[in-house]
């Protein structure tokens, strides 16, 4: 048994296909299949149920896959620690970002990393909070940038910055001309437009508006901030928008952004595994970016 065998097993479990797993591991399908057969022979158990139509991991195999993930994660952390101890960084790190942060902070994040560690390639994965948190915990991601508290006890978070949420309304809205901060109660009666389930910004906007106004009708109908802006331009409703999204784009005609009192906000944070030394290094580079 060797690390490559474990990588093959995890790849087959993740992709459910020998050909795709072989491609992901940069080997031929015959090589991958043969090595997994040898692994099963060495262990004396069946890990994979092979049919003409699909690949199924056996109940015993599922347990071995999780152990394999842990071994591979520990191995990578050892390699990362060795590089950090020598004053270097891993040649590649995988960083996750949620969709309501990635388009607006990714450039600054990559620039900061390139300046601090020019020889390290940053592979970016964009996904919703739950998927990124799971990816970091399992070792599929080295770190992730989120905007909610972590719930997994294996993870640790480092606050990077506070991001205010602004009220976005159509320019013909009765509140659009106001220059001072407005109380959120004045939003009562407006339809609150939200991102679909899975986006933490949806929960944050709904929680704030419910606590400080109530009585809102709301609708989850978008998967991106850009879609929300387009809907607001056409008078479909109002929403809460991250200030970083407003600062990093040309403000479109037909939309006004207002500040609220009290001001809602979200904490942008970096999450990593508690067992990884990489988190402290990344936090030092990205703090305030």
Sign of the CA dihedral running 27, 29, 33, 36: positive
Q: Which fold has domain 164-264?
A: D-Maltodextrin-Binding Protein; domain 2 (3.40.190)
Measured CA to CA, the distance from residue 14 to residue 34 in angstroms comes to 18
- Do the domains 164-264 and 88-161+267-286 match in fold? yes
Q: Which fold has domain 3-81?
A: Arc Repressor Mutant, subunit A (1.10.10)
Average pLDDT for runs of 10 along the chain of length 289 = 88 88 89 91 88 79 88 79 68 93 94 91 94 88 93 90 95 89 87 90 89 71 89 91 86 88 95 85 86
Answer whether 255's CB lies under 8 Å from 172's CB: no
Q: Quick one: pLDDT at residue 26?
A: 87
Q: Which residue has the tokens 């929680």?
A: 207
Q: Quick one: pLDDT at residue 216?
A: 63
pLDDT digit string, tens, across residues 182-200 = 998 888 888 899 999 889 9
Strands 48-50 vs 92-97: parallel, antiparallel or unpaired: unpaired
Answer whether 163's CB lies under 8 Å from 208's CB: no
- Phi/psi of residue 61, each to 5°? -60, -35
Measured CA to CA, the distance from residue 5 to residue 46 in angstroms comes to 14
pTM: 0.74
SS3 of 16-41: CCHHHHHHHHCCCHHHHHHHHHHHHH
Residue extents of the structural domains in the chain? 3-81, 88-161+267-286, 164-264
Q: Quick one: pLDDT at residue 88?
A: 65
- Phi/psi of residue 252, each to 5°? -75, 150
CATH 3.40.190.10 fits 88-161+267-286, yes or no: yes
Q: Quick one: pLDDT at residue 163?
A: 96
């Amino acid at each position: 048994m060797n690390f490559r065998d474990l990588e093959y097993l995890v790849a087959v479990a993740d992709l459910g296909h020998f050909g795709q797993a072989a491609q992901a591991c940069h080997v031929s399908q015959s090589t991958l299949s043969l090595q997994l057969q040898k692994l099963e022979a060495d262990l004396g158990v069946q890990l994979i149920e092979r049919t003409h139509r699909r690949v199924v991991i056996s109940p015993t195999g599922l347990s071995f896959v999780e152990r394999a993930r842990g071994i591979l994660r520990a191995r990578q952390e050892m390699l990362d620690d060795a590089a950090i101890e020598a004053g270097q960084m891993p040649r590649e790190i995988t960083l996750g970002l949620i969709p309501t942060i990635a388009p607006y902070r990714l450039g600054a994040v990559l620039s900061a990393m390139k300046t601090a560690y020019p020889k390290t390639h940053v592979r970016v994965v964009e996904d919703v909070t739950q998927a990124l948190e799971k990816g970091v915990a399992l070792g599929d991601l080295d770190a992730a940038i989120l905007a909610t508290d972590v719930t997994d006890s294996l993870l640790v978070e480092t606050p990077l910055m506070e991001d205010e949420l602004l009220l976005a309304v159509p320019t013909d809205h009765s509140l659009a001309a106001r220059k001072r901060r407005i109380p959120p109660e004045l939003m009562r009666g407006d339809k609150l437009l939200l991102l679909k389930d899975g986006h933490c910004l949806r929960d944050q906007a709904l929680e704030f508006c419910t606590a400080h106004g109530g009585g809102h009708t709301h609708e989850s109908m978008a998967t991106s901030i850009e879609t929300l802006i387009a809907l607001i331009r056409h008078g479909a409703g109002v929403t809460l928008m991250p200030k970083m999204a407003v600062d990093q784009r040309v403000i479109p005609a037909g939309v006004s952004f207002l500040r609220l009192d009290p001001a809602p906000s979200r904490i942008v944070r970096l999450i990593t595994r508690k067992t990884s030394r990489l988190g402290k290094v990344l936090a030092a580079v990205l703090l305030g970016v």
